[in-house]
Structure 1
Amino acid sequence: MLDNEFYISREAKASLVSLICPKFKEHATEKDTLRSLEELRELMRTLNIETGEQYIQNKKTVDAGTILGTGKLEEIAAAAKAEGSSLLVFDCELTSSQIRNIKKLTGLSVVDRCHIILEIFSEHARTKEARIQIEIARLQYILPRLAGFWSHLGRQKGGIGVRGGEGEQQIELDRRIIRERIEFYKRELKEVEKSRIEQKKRRSKKAITTALVGYTNAGKSSLMNRLCRVDVLEEDKLFATLDSTFRMLNPDTKPPMILIDTVGFLSNLPNTLIDGFKTTLESALEADLLMIVCDISDPNYEKHLEVTNNVLKELGLEDKERIIIFNKKDKLNDKIAENIIKRKHPNSFVISSFDKADIDNLRQYVVDYFLEKQNNYDLFIPYDAGAAHSIVVSKTNVIKTTNHEKGIYYQVKVPDFIYNPLGLQKFELGPHDPLLKEI
C-alpha cells in the first residue's frame, strides 16, 4: 500500500511548475528559477519520464496553501491537460496540505522536486548501506505528507486496541507503520556502518586515497574510468552514480593509490535528503586529497562549484587539500575561456577525460603529489642482506639506486606508517655520512 501510493508512473507525461519570488530561496530571480527548472528537467530525464511545458508565476510572496495563486493553477491545469500531461512536478518542496490543495484544484497528480530525487536515489542505490539510507529518507519524507498522498482517510469500523466504536483513523495506523520501519532501518544502518568503519580502518593502513567530488553529471565516473583504466557506469544523466566506488589509481606505488568516485552534489537539495545525502559522502572524509570535478561546458559551472564548496564546508572538509579539475573542455571550444579559468584557479586542470595526454598528465600529477608528501630515506644495504633488499624493492618507492663495492645504496620515499615496521632503520645513512659522498 505505501509503495503503490508513492510510486510515480514512468508512463505519465509531466508538466513542470515553478515561480519567481524574491522571498523564495533558489527562486529569487528569473535566472535562478530557469537554472533550477533546467536541472529538474534533467532529473525527469534520468527517470525516463517525458516532460512537457514549464509554467512560471511571478509573485511577491508564496501562497501558503497552494504556492501559486488559484487562478494561475487553474490556468496551468488546463494547459497541462491540453498537452496530455497527467502530472504536475513542482520545483520546490511541498507540504501535505499543499499537495492535497493543488490536487483538488487541478485534478492532476502532484509531486515535488524532493519526491523526484528520492525516486532516482531509490533506483540507483546499489550497496546495502545506500539502500537503507535512501529508504529512511523516503519514509521520513512520506510521514508528514500522508494526507497529501493517501485517499483512505476515513475512520475504520470496529475496535482497535483498547478503543472501540469507530476506531482510530487509518492514517494513524500508517504513521505507526512508517515510524516502526524507520526505527528498524536505523538499527540496521548502525550495524552496516560498523562494518564500513572497520573496512575504512583496514584500508587506511594499506593505501592512500583520492576522492572525486563535484556536482552531479560533471563527468566523475568517466574520469575514474580513464584514470584507473576500468569500466565504471557512466551516463549523461544526473545521479548515474550514487554509491561510492573504489578503484586502484596506481598499484605500483607504495602504498597503492586508490581513487574514490562519490555521489554528485545538487543545488536546492530538499531538507529531507540532506542528512542521507551527506552520509553517502563520508568516503570523502577519509581521502588524503580531494579532486573537485566541474563541468566547464555547463553555463552554470560557477554555481556548481559554489554548491560543491558549500557541501564540503558542511562536511568539515574546507581545509582538506584539493585540486580542481575542469572537465569536458572538448565541449567548450573556447581557448580564451580556458585560459581565464586557469588564471582564476591556478591550482587547477582544464581537461577532457577523452584526451589521453590530459589523463596521463593528471595521473602523474597525483602520483607525484603523494610521493612529495612521503619521507626520504637514504639506505645502504650490504649485498649479503638479501631479505632487506627484497623489502626495499617490494615495500618502498625506490627513487635511485647505486651499486657500491660493499652493497647497494637506495634513495627511497615511503610514508612513516609503512616504513617504521620494516626494520630498515639499521641501514639508514645520516645526512653527513661520508658514504654519501662516495655514491
Structure 2
Amino acid sequence: MQRDVKEKILLTGCQLDEDDLRFQYSMKELEELAKTAQGEVMAVLSQKRDRIDPGTYIGKGKVDELKALEEQFDPDIIIFNDELSPSQVRNLSKILDARVIDRTQLILDIFAQRARSREGKLQVELAQLQYLLPRLIGKGTSLSRLGGGIGTRGPGETKLESDRRHIHRRIDDIKKQLQTIVEHRERYRERRKKNNTFQAALVGYTNAGKSTLFNRLSTAESYEENQLFATLDPMTRKMALPSGYFTLLTDTVGFIQDLPTSLIAAFRSTLEEVKEADLLLHVVDSSNPDYHQHEETVQSLLEELGMDGMPMLTVYNKRDIIHPEFVPVSGANQILISAIDSEDRRQLLLRIEDMVKKQMDKYQVQVPSNEGKVLSQLKNDTILLNLYFDEDTQLYEAEGYHLKDHQISGSIKKFQKQKGSK
C-alpha cells in the first residue's frame, strides 16, 4: 500500500571520470527512482572528484554542505548515487540525522514494492538480506532508526535486527525455495520444448515500454505504467503472427545501469526464461535523451548473462514522442514504432514473422484430402503461406515454414516423398 505522505529526500552524487552529460542522466535517473519509491526530492548535491572518499564517499567540505542542506530541508532520507560501503554508511550516519541509503537499497525497495509472485518476493528478500548482511556489523543501536519507509520496505524489513546466524539460515531457506521454483519452471520449459513452440522475449531498459507492447501484442494484462520497474515478474503469453501462427512472448524485468550485483544474481533465474527464447526483442525508448546509454547497458547485461549471440530485433519504441536528436544505431536489425499505433504493431509483427521464418525450414507438400489431422497440424503448427485443393489430383497443395524438430516434420517428410515420386 502506498503512503499518502511522501518522504522528503536529499540526493547526493559524486562524478568521477564520466562526462558531464552521462553524470547528469545518472542523477536524473536517481531522482526518477526516488519518485517511483514514493519520495519527494527536496535538493540535489553533487561533487567532482578524482576518486571516491573511502570514509564518507564525498569530501569533508561537501559533507558539511550536506549537513547544512539537512538543517534547511529536514529530510527523512539522504540517498547516494552509488553503492556505499558499510563503513561509509556508518560514518555518514554518525554525522547526519536523516537515514542514509544508497542507490542499491533504493532499487531493492522499488523491487520490494513491485514483486507480486512468490518467486519475485523471495528473490527480493534474498537480495535484501545479502545486501544487509555485511552492513549489520557494528551498526548496533543505529538499526532502531530503520523503522520503515524507503529502503526498508518489503520482506527484508522484519529481519533488520535479527542476528547474522538467523539471516544465514533464512538465506539458505530462500535459496532452497527458489531452487524448487526453478526446477518447476525447467519442467515447464521442457514441456514447451517438447511441443516445440517458438518463443520471443522482450528485453530492454526499465520504462522502455515493454509491458505496453506486451499487452498489445499478446492476450495479456501485464501491469503497465510510466514508471521505473513497473514489471518485475516474468510473464509469458501467446502472440499471433499475421499468418495466424502462434508463438510465445515473454515480458521481463527492466534493466538499469549500475544494477546491483546482488540483484543480477538474484534475478538470474528469472532471466533464464529469456535464455530459452529463440528471438530477443530489444525495446529501446527513442524519446529518452539517454537512449544510447540504455541500449549499451542492456547489451552489456545480456553479455554478462551469456545471451549476446542470440537472434535479436531492436525495437525503437515511442516514435510518437521521439527525441529530436535520436539516431538509430546503424547496421542493427531494427524497426521504429509506437506501441500504441496499430499499424506500427502490424509492421512489427511482419518483421517478427520474417525473423521466425529464418529459423525454420521451407516446405511444399501434397496432402490427400482424407488426411484431415495433418492438414489441421499444418494450419496450427506451421507458418502456412498457401493452401489450395487441386481438383485433378484430389490433393491439397500446401507450402510454408516449419520448425526443424517439430513433430509435424515427420508428416511433412512423408508427403514430400509422395510428391517427389509422382
Same fold (TM over 0.5): yes
1:113-192 map, 5 Å = 113-147=103-137, 150-151=140-141, 174-192=163-181
CA contact (8 A) 1:267 1:304 kept: yes
Match of residue 13, structure 2, among 4, 13, 18: 18
Tell me the equivalent position of 1:164.
Answer: none
Distance 2:377 2:322 in 1: 48
1:361 aligned onto 2:340: no
Q: What residue identity is the alignment partner of 2:163?
A: D
1:236-247 map, 5 Å = 236-247=226-237
Tell me the CA shift for residue 370 of structure 1: 1.4
SS in structure 2 opposite 1:39? Answer: helix
CA contact (8 A) 2:214 2:220 kept: yes
1:403-422 map, 5 Å = 403-408=390-395, 409-420=397-408
TM-score by length of 2: 0.87
Moved over 6 A (4+): 251-255
TM-score by length of 1: 0.84
Q: Relative to 1, partners in 2 of residues 1:390 and 1:345: Cα closer, same or farther, differing over 3 Å?
A: closer
SS in structure 2 opposite 1:88? Answer: strand
SS in structure 1 opposite 2:355? Answer: helix
Distance 1:149 1:50 in 2: 27
Match of residue 199, structure 1, among 188, 192, 216: 188
Tell me the CA shift for residue 285 of structure 1: 0.1
Tell me the CA shift for residue 185 of structure 1: 0.7
Tell me the equivalent position of 1:306.
Answer: 296
Identity value in percent:
33
Structure of larger gyration radius:
1
CA contact (8 A) 2:278 2:311 kept: yes
Q: Relative to 1, partners in 2 of residues 1:393 and 1:362: Cα closer, same or farther, differing over 3 Å?
A: closer
Q: What residue identity is the alignment partner of 1:16?
A: L
Tell me the CA shift for residue 345 of structure 1: 4.1
Tell me the CA shift for residue 277 of structure 1: 3.4
1:70 aligned onto 2:60: yes
Tell me the equivalent position of 1:257.
Answer: 247
Distance 1:65 1:252 in 2: 60
SS in structure 2 opposite 1:232? Answer: coil
Tell me the CA shift for residue 150 of structure 1: 4.2
CA contact (8 A) 2:207 2:254 kept: yes
Query: Larger deviation: 399-408 or 235-244?
Result: 399-408
SS in structure 1 opposite 2:303? Answer: helix
Tell me the CA shift for residue 341 of structure 1: 2.1
SS in structure 1 opposite 2:221? Answer: coil
SS in structure 2 opposite 1:281? Answer: helix
Tell me the CA shift for residue 412 of structure 1: 3.6
Distance 1:392 1:18 in 2: 59
Q: Relative to 1, partners in 2 of residues 1:29 and 1:385: Cα closer, same or farther, differing over 3 Å?
A: closer
Distance 1:149 1:253 in 2: 62
Tell me the equivalent position of 1:5.
Answer: none
Distance 1:393 1:175 in 2: 59
Give the unaligned 5+ runs of structure 2: 145-159
Tell me the CA shift for residue 203 of structure 1: 1.7
1:88-103 map, 5 Å = 88-103=78-93
Tell me the equivalent position of 1:341.
Answer: 328
Tell me the CA shift for residue 350 of structure 1: 1.0
Tell me the CA shift for residue 12 of structure 1: 2.3
Tell me the CA shift for residue 357 of structure 1: 1.1
CA contact (8 A) 1:124 1:242 kept: yes
Q: Relative to 1, partners in 2 of residues 1:82 and 1:265: Cα closer, same or farther, differing over 3 Å?
A: same
Tell me the equivalent position of 1:328.
Answer: 318
SS in structure 1 opposite 2:136? Answer: helix
Distance 1:172 1:126 in 2: 25
